[in-house]
A = this chain, B = another copy of it.
């Protein structure tokens, strides 16, 4: 049993896989941070989605007015959903790409641009920066994922 375990956990000794693990953990933690930012804005703006969340503000009508949408909360939520839409493909395609045997330097280039682009995208969304700041950071991450998908399909193609 031990022998098998050692063999199957070897992936973590592969440098490309270690880079993938590092950058994937970073972008997923960044995405998780959006939940805390949403909670922060919900509490400071007093804007909640569920009646049970407003119970600490009293009962009945006095609490009901906090069941509302707030533009700062909605902005963070749009950023969070955009993360899901873009980070999910990165995590899935990036894993396949890391296993397809790329050069470490090429893999690092892809992972670094994607991670940098998504961090920039979050700042561009939350500050907010004037366009095309957010658009370009979104496009950079999109193109990196597309490039990895191309390499996966070239290496693995079996339809």
Residues of A within 8 A of B (CB): 1, 4-5, 7-19, 21-26, 28-29, 31-32, 34-35, 49-50, 52-53, 55-56, 75, 78, 80-81, 84-89, 91-93, 95-96, 99-101, 128-131, 134, 142, 145-146, 149, 152-153, 155-159
Contact = CB atoms under 8 A, between A and B. Distances in A.
Give the oligomeric copy count.
3
A95 B99 CA distance: 13
B13 A158 contact: no
Given A5-B15, A101-B9, A25 B158 contact: no
B14 A5 contact: yes
Contact of A128 (B12, B25, B50, B146): B50
